[in-house]
Structure formats: C-alpha cells, structure tokens
Structure 1
Amino acid sequence: MSDRKAVRGWLMYDWANSAFVTTIIAAVMPVYYDKVAGKGLGENVTTVYWANTQSIAALIVAILSPILGAIADYTGSKVKFVSFFAILGSIASMLAALIGEGDWLLASVLVILGTIGFAAGNTFYDALLVDVASPAERDKVSAQGYAWGYLGGGLLLGINVAMIQAWDTFGFSSSESATRMVFLTVGVWWLLFAIPLVRHVKERKPASSTSAGQAVKQAFTRLAQTFRRIKRYPELLKYMIAYWFFNDGINTVIVMATAYGSSIGIEMGSLITALLITQLVGFPSTLLFGRYASKLGAKKVLYITLALYIVIVTLGFFMENAAHFFILATLVGLVQGGSQAIARSIYADLVPPVRAAEFFGFLTISSKFSSVAGPFVFALVAGNTDSSRIGILSLIGFFVVGIVLLRFVNLSKGKQEALAEESV
C-alpha cells in the first residue's frame, strides 16, 4: 500500500501548478501580452514575439530536463528539484504583476522563467510517481493527479475571470489592475499548494551518495548513455515511439484549439468559457478513466481515449459556432486528462525505478523536439490548402499511427525488463 499522506501531497502539486497553465499560458497572459505588454509593437509583431517566447522556454526545458533528471537520480533529490522549480515558477508569476504597457521584454522573460519552473518541475514530479504509488496503484494515482490539476486550475481560473470581468465589484481601479492581481494569485496558489508535496513525499535513496560536482559530470556522461541504454528496454522504446505520435496529436489539439477557434470566428469570451468547461469536465472524467484503467487494463483504456480524439478532430472539421466549440471542449475534457494520465502511468511502469528521473527527463526532451511535428503539419496543410479546417483534420494521422504502434508494445514484458535492473 502507498503512503496516503505522500499520495495526497503528490496530488496537490498538480492542483498547485495547473493554475499557471490555465490562467497565465492559456487564458489571460496571451491577451494581456497583446493588448498591454506589447502595446505599440503591432498585432503581428506581438504574435511573433509570443510564439518566440514559448519556443525559447521549450528549448531551454528540453536541454535542461535530462541533465537535471540524471543529477536528481544520482543525488536522490527529486523533491528538492520540484521545490526549486516551484519557487522559480511562483515568483515569476507573482512578478508578472509588475508588467505594464510596453513591458513585452519583461513579460517574455517572466513567462520563460515560469514555463521553465512548470515544465522542469513536472519532470521530477512525474518521476516521483514511482516513489509515492505502488505499481498496482499507479494508473489510479496518475489519473487522480491530472484530475486534481483540472479542478485546481479550473477553480482559480474561474475566480480570475470573475476578477477581470467584474473588476469594480472586487474593488480594482481597472480591468488591467485586476489582471495584474490575477498573476499574483497564480504565484501564491502555486507556492501554497506545493507545500504538502515537500512535507510528505519521501523518495527512495540512491545506492551510493554522490556530491553535486560529481553528479554534474556524471549527468553529461549519463545523458549520452541514456540514448544507448534505452535499447536495453525494447518495449519501452517501442512505447516511447508510439507516445511521440499520439502525444504530439494531443498537444497540438491543446495548443491550436484557441487559435483554430479564433480563426473561424469564435469570440474570446467563448474561448475562455470553453477552457473552463474542459477543466471542469476533466476532473470527474479523469478519475473515471483512471478507475477503468485498473479494471480493464491501461492499454485498452488508452486505445479508447485515442479513438475518441479521432472523433474530436473529425467533429472539429465541421465546427461552425460557439455552441459546437463548447461541445468539443466537453469531449476534450472527457479524454484529455485520462489519456495523459494513463500514458504517464504506463511509462512509469516501463522505466527502471532506479533511473526514473533520468528516463522521464529523456521523455521530456524527446517529446519537446517531436512536438514540433504537429503544429508544423497543421501549418503546412492549412497553408497549402488555405483552410484551417483541413489543417485540424490532418492531426488524425498522429493518433492513427500512435494506435498502430501501440499494438506492438507488450506491457507485461516491458515491466519485467524495467524491474530486471533492480535485481542486478
């Protein structure tokens, strides 16, 4: 049995940092960046700067994650790394309250720091799953993490939207001042609810202690070894390739949904409402998928979620108005958390526990680089056909390939390969 306090502490971190994605990355900061921070730059320039901001942050995370993961495994310090990046992300979020008109550079720097805090921290947070949950409970616990993330992120987003839209009711002098306070609440929320993980999660210690200096040197060596070592886990390698495809499809749906909705005339208010729907639906549905993963088998349930994504993308092609967008948001909320949670728990079962942070770091960097394909294909198809609808339809290929490759993965054999190193 797992330590209940450790599990609850681990779950609360998803509740804590999801507010950064929902409020700052997805809903509020993009608009504030365009209207306030980038004022005077011109609409196209602010869009390019915002895209560059996201790219720089992703690149930094991709480079750092496997190195930091190896260091964490050598020193037994995954909790410390989560703490550091939580503090980094929360401070960056709170400092965003200082962003005013024309402060696009400050906004970009803080968003980059916040994104590093979120993404790099999640590398170690994900790796801690093997420390807080037994193999039999990982599907359920992983799903609960995503579910609490949906609830926490959605709850604060709802409060934040109310603060911005009814700014005078909350005593603010303007919508802009309310938005600045929104950024502050995200940082406080993140920091406050990260405390249970720091207090209650205990990770397994490495067989031998290593100094920080030695760990840094070994990390670079280990990074190269990871590329060679993964060949010793053929089922993990096959699963990772399948994961690159279907996860790229999922992430492209996430990052392109608002842009796609806007391109066909959906208003910003409706886009934010749709995001709230996704968060609220995601909470119970993710728990439900986690429960069925334990009963029916994780692989089978993952098939179901990916098949539903094909349905979602197909329906997206025919979407005409806000009501249709709300229906799709409900369907995305139904499967998004479940698919990601189950995919994470399967990966946790296939990696050797003594190298969990290393392999989760490797997954992060490989996923970051592979995730370029989805938006690129979308843009390429939409550009050549002059239709974003055909662009969104092209994403079906990622899910189909992912499903086909997943069929060749033997999870039972993969788990045995992962545990074999424990007995060496």
Structure 2
Amino acid sequence: MRDFSLQEKSWILYDWANSAYSVIVTAAVLPIFFKTLTKEAGISPNMADAYWGYSTSLATLIIALMAPILGAMGDYRGMKMRMFRVFLLIGVLSTAALAFTGQWFPILVLYIITVIGFSGANLFYDAFLVDVTTEDRMDRVSTYGFALGYIGGSTIPFVFSIALIMFGKEIGIPALLATKISFLITAVWWAVFALPILKNVRQVYFLEPSPGLVRSSFQRLYGTFRNIKNYGAIFLFLLAYFFYIDGVNTIIHMATVYGDSVGLGSSTLLLALLVTQIVAFPCAILYGILAKKFGSSKMILFGIIIYLIICYLGYRMETALDFWILALLVASSQGGLQALSRSYFGKMVPKENANEFFGFYDIFGKFAAIMGPSLYGFFSQVTGESRYGVLSVMILFLIGGGIFLVTISRKTLPTR
C-alpha cells in the first residue's frame, strides 16, 4: 500500500469498509437468517427465494430511478461528498436496525433500505475514482480496492460473526442474538472505516453550481440523453455491462438462498463464503496484473466465460463439494470483473462529468439487477425448482458477453 497516495489509500479503504455489508447482509448471514424466519412462518423454500429476489429487484429499481439525477447533481462542486454522506448514513443506520427485529417481513423492508443506502453511496464512491488517481493507474487502484475489501473488510467481521453464531452458545449467546449482533458489527465496521474517505478525498473535477441546481441537473441530464449518439462507445459498453453485471449481482444475491434450497446446511454455506472472500483477494489483484499485460477487455471477457461455467455447474449442483467448487470459481472472477468494469468505464468518461456518467453506469447496473433476481425468482416459482432459476442467469452472460465481443471486434471501444 506504500505505493499509493493518501487519496488513493483512503478511497481503497472504503472497499474495506463496505465489504462487510456485502458479505454479511447481501450474501451470507442475512439471507440465511431470512430463510430461517420464513421456514418458521411456513413459507416454502422456492417462495422464500422468490420473495428475496423480488425485494432485491424493488430496491434496485428505486436506486436506479434516482441514479441519473443524483449523478448529475453530484457533478457540481462539493455535491459529490455531501450526497455520499447522506447515502452512507442511510445504509449504516438501516443495517444497524436489522438487529432489532425478528420477523421476516420487516427484515425484507429493512433489507430494501440497506440496499438503497449501500448502492447510493457506491454511485458516488465509484465516481470518486477519477478524482483520486490518474487514468494509467485506475485498473490497479480499482482492483486493489476490491482485493482489500475481500481480505479485510469481508473476512475479519465475517469470521467474528460466524464464530459468534456457531459457538456463541458456549458463552451464553444464543444463535438468534449472535446473528443480530453481527448486523451491529457490520454497521460499526462500515461507519468507522469510511472515515478516511470522508476526511481525505475531495472532488477534483466538477462543474460550478448554477441557480436552480436541481433544474439545471435535469437539463444536463436531458441533454446527455438527447446527444447519446455522441457517446456511442460509452453506450455500447453500458449495454454489454447491463447484461453481464446483472448476472454477477444475481449470483451474489441469490447464491446463499439457493444453497439453502438445495439442502446445504448453514455451516457449509458460511464456511464456503468465508473461503470465497480469502481466495478472491489475490484473484482480484491478479486480474489487475493480467489486464496490464493482456488488456482489460480480454480479462472482462474471461470473467464472463467463468460465470457461464458457474451457472451451468450451479444447475447441476447436488453436493456440498459442488458448492465449494462454485464458491472458488466465483472467488476467482467476481472482484476482478467488477473492478475492471469500473476502471474501464472510468477511463472512457469526461472527468468533469464523471459523476453524471457514473450515474448512467449505476442506472444500467441497477436496472439490470432488477431483471436478474426477478428472472431467478420467476423460474424458481413457475418450475418449483430453484436450480432452473440459476440456469436462467446464463442468458444474461451470453447476451452481455456477445455485445461486448462485438464492440471489441468492431473496435468501437478501447481494447486496453
């Protein structure tokens, strides 16, 4: 880390901060807690999966509708950090609130709010990438952010939470209380390690504010939509990203509830997810190194191929060993694919309008995230088998990878 500037370190450390949320609330503890509550309420596993998928879609729809105007407003001097703080606060407080309920429906409501806070803050966090580093360092800074998040932000609070849930009874802490404590740990971890970015990162590229900030933001947004043909390369990339990142997010959100539905125990799921975080650390850095050698576009395509394999193997999954193999495959490419997509886009956009363009980046990602979990939920509900929901996600990677491959072959996007 000594090779990074103070601003780069502070930006990277936010991945350390919010990754605790990603693994505990999105991928591991909360989904298992939710499935436990739905079983107690007499809800079938496939319907519980559907409810979780629909709730994820609703949350992402809300933030997707907000993203373009939020992004446009964030481009003005001082607004990026202000809005980042607002969504950070929403995310931290709603995550902490999860500790104070034990009913499945309130859990879903709070989960939706946490997703809004987490995703809203990430919109501005991603856009800060152009402010903290130079274009030639973006791949490295972005991949190190994901890597540090995996090895520290995810692993340390996750290990503590797992230990508390699995062995808390020996010190008089029942599993239910231990689960709720894990949500408080996540909120505190997120808030504390967000302090460096709040203190040290500043908006370098901006537009001067004008009278009627909201109105002028809408006018700029309309102008960008109207002139989208002038940003053909960016639009084509976003179209490909729309599909393949939807597949990635669907796997993240649905993996644990799917594992539960096919009969895997909570201990197996939690330990496999822990190993995933550890293995993902060097793999995310490796993606950055290989991108420098082979080009980020080739590494993005490689990640998409890995996810196609994951979907097929997920459909065929029968045993705990199968789930372990899937977990390791996800670990090999999840962080690298997300990080390189972020930096690839960051190198394409005009810096003074970075937040507006990252607003589009976010809306494409979030609207896509509506489709994937809903697709998974629909096939799970109609067929009565969650494995068909996993298989349906292949469609997203095939379309996204195809569009991205066409843009490269036509040389409408930079290949490095």
- Pair in the same fold by TM > 0.5: yes
State the match for 1:54 in structure 2.
56
In 2, are the aligned partners of 1:27 and 1:272 still within 8 Å (CA)? yes
Report the alpha carbon displacement of residue 265 of structure 1 after superposing the two structures with TM.
Answer: 2.1
State the match for 2:5 in structure 1.
4
In 2, are the aligned partners of 1:172 and 1:178 still within 8 Å (CA)? no
CA distance in 2, matches of 1:97, 1:383: 30
State the match for 1:277 in structure 2.
275
State the match for 2:87 in structure 1.
85
State the match for 1:333 in structure 2.
331
Which protein has greater RCO, CA pairs closer than 8 Å, 6+ apart? 2
CA distance in 1, matches of 2:391, 2:207: 50
Report the alpha carbon displacement of residue 330 of structure 1 after superposing the two structures with TM.
Answer: 0.6
State the match for 1:200 in structure 2.
200
Which AA in structure 1 matches 2:86? F
> Do the aligned partners of residues 260 and 94 (structure 1) sit closer, same or farther apart at CA in structure 2, a change above 3 Å counting?
closer
Q: What is the RMSD computed on CA atoms of the aligned residues?
A: 2.7
> Do the aligned partners of residues 309 and 76 (structure 1) sit closer, same or farther apart at CA in structure 2, a change above 3 Å counting?
same
Secondary structure at the residue paired with 1:202?
coil
CA distance in 1, matches of 2:28, 2:332: 20
CA distance in 1, matches of 2:384, 2:104: 34
In terms of mean alpha carbon deviation, does 242-251 or 310-319 score higher? 310-319
CA distance in 2, matches of 1:272, 1:296: 35
CA distance in 2, matches of 1:55, 1:220: 25
State the match for 2:20 in structure 1.
19
Report the alpha carbon displacement of residue 156 of structure 1 after superposing the two structures with TM.
Answer: 1.1
Report the alpha carbon displacement of residue 128 of structure 1 after superposing the two structures with TM.
Answer: 0.7
Alignment of 1:20-419 (within 5 A): 20-35=21-36, 41-44=41-44, 50-99=52-101, 101-102=102-103, 104-105=105-106, 107-151=107-151, 152-169=153-170, 171-210=171-210, 214-379=212-377, 388-409=386-407, 414=413
**Cα deviation 1:112-142 (Å, max 9, x = unaligned):** 3322210000000001111112111111111
In 1, are the aligned partners of 2:50 and 2:377 still within 8 Å (CA)? no
In 1, are the aligned partners of 2:300 and 2:340 still within 8 Å (CA)? yes
**Cα deviation 1:342-379 (Å, max 9, x = unaligned):** 11111111222111111111222232223333344445
Secondary structure at the residue paired with 2:202?
coil
- Calculate the TM-score normalised by the size of structure 2: 0.89
Q: Which runs of 5+ in 1 are unaligned?
A: 417-424
CA distance in 1, matches of 2:387, 2:339: 28
CA distance in 2, matches of 1:3, 1:84: 27
> Do the aligned partners of residues 192 and 329 (structure 1) sit closer, same or farther apart at CA in structure 2, a change above 3 Å counting?
same
> Do the aligned partners of residues 134 and 161 (structure 1) sit closer, same or farther apart at CA in structure 2, a change above 3 Å counting?
same
CA distance in 2, matches of 1:96, 1:389: 29
> Do the aligned partners of residues 210 and 148 (structure 1) sit closer, same or farther apart at CA in structure 2, a change above 3 Å counting?
farther
Which AA in structure 1 matches 2:10? G
Report the alpha carbon displacement of residue 277 of structure 1 after superposing the two structures with TM.
Answer: 1.8
CA distance in 2, matches of 1:96, 1:377: 27
CA distance in 2, matches of 1:87, 1:369: 23
In 1, are the aligned partners of 2:268 and 2:320 still within 8 Å (CA)? yes
CA distance in 2, matches of 1:315, 1:109: 32
In 1, are the aligned partners of 2:32 and 2:257 still within 8 Å (CA)? no
Secondary structure at the residue paired with 1:303?
helix
Which AA in structure 2 matches 1:342? L
> Do the aligned partners of residues 352 and 412 (structure 1) sit closer, same or farther apart at CA in structure 2, a change above 3 Å counting?
farther
- Percent identity of paired positions between Structure 1 and Structure 2: 37
**Cα deviation 1:141-166 (Å, max 9, x = unaligned):** 11111111212112211111111111
Q: Which runs of 5+ in 2 are unaligned?
A: none
> Do the aligned partners of residues 163 and 302 (structure 1) sit closer, same or farther apart at CA in structure 2, a change above 3 Å counting?
same
Secondary structure at the residue paired with 1:330?
helix
CA distance in 2, matches of 1:135, 1:293: 14
Which AA in structure 2 matches 1:395? V
In terms of mean alpha carbon deviation, does 299-308 or 284-293 score higher? 299-308
In terms of mean alpha carbon deviation, does 146-155 or 262-271 score higher? 262-271
CA distance in 1, matches of 2:306, 2:54: 32
In 1, are the aligned partners of 2:32 and 2:256 still within 8 Å (CA)? no
Report the alpha carbon displacement of residue 415 of structure 1 after superposing the two structures with TM.
Answer: 6.6
Which AA in structure 1 matches 2:368? S
In 1, are the aligned partners of 2:127 and 2:358 still within 8 Å (CA)? yes
- Calculate the TM-score normalised by the size of structure 1: 0.87
CA distance in 1, matches of 2:377, 2:108: 24
In terms of mean alpha carbon deviation, does 39-48 or 6-15 score higher? 39-48
Report the alpha carbon displacement of residue 337 of structure 1 after superposing the two structures with TM.
Answer: 0.6
CA distance in 1, matches of 2:272, 2:387: 19
CA distance in 1, matches of 2:162, 2:262: 23
Secondary structure at the residue paired with 1:340?
helix
Q: Aligned pair count?
A: 409
